[in-house]
Amino acid sequence: MSRIITSILFLSLLFMAFVVISSKASGGEPNFLGYQLKTVLSGSMEPSIQTGSIIAIKPGGDMTRFQKDDVITFIKEDNSLVTHRVLEVRGQGEQTQYVTKGDNNEDPDKDPILSKNVVGEYKGFTIPFLGYAIDFAKSKEGTAILLILPGLFLLIYSGITVWQTVRELDPSKNKETTING
């Protein structure tokens, strides 16, 4: 049982270190196996993508390749990222524009998206609610807590284990009293 607890604490420490370091190194969102992990902050794509989920998008490539019903992530004029479904493709080559709409929105987005503003394509991989944890990990407080807390638990548990072992080996605690009669 002791090995299982130690392994769980150690693995959680490694996982949290990976999440924090990769999110800091990539400038915000972690990368994994060539995919960028993005946090969904609104309900515009519900029910297919829940608020607070993380999604995997495939960045790069020919940003003029998308067709109707593809789900793309793009940069808006205010530098925010949005993931919406393509309703219509207009133009060709560098002049390609996408009319997009969130699945949960009544109307299409106000302005068409230029292909040069597309960041990547959503590949259908979603983990619900993990985005809240990753968003928290990006904060200063989150970084400190997610790196320090598992390490602290591991140290405390190790200290308890050492203390119990020393206590079992201490001869003054293990003497049996004999009654001479």
Does residue 57 lie in a domain region? yes
Nearest partner of 117 among 85, 87, 86, 72, judged by Cα: 72
Does residue 162 lie in a domain region? yes
Nearest partner of 29 among 86, 76, 73, judged by Cα: 73
Does residue 79 lie in a domain region? yes
Domain count along the chain: 1
Does residue 30 lie in a domain region? yes
3-state secondary structure of 88: strand
CATH number, position 131: 2.10.109.10
Q: Which residues does 11 contact at the CB level (< 8 Å), separation at least 6?
A: none
Does residue 179 lie in a domain region? no
pTM of full prediction above 0.95: no
Range of the domain at 145: 2-167
Does residue 7 lie in a domain region? yes
Q: Which residue out of 42, 80, 115, 158 is catalytically annotated?
A: 42
Please confirm, yes or no, whether 42 is among the known catalytic residues. Answer: yes
> How do residues 45-99 score in pLDDT, each as one tens digit?
988 888 988 888 988 888 889 999 999 999 998 888 899 999 999 988 888 999 9
Please give the single-letter amino acid code of residue 151: G
d(CA 79, CA 57): 18
Does residue 100 lie in a domain region? yes
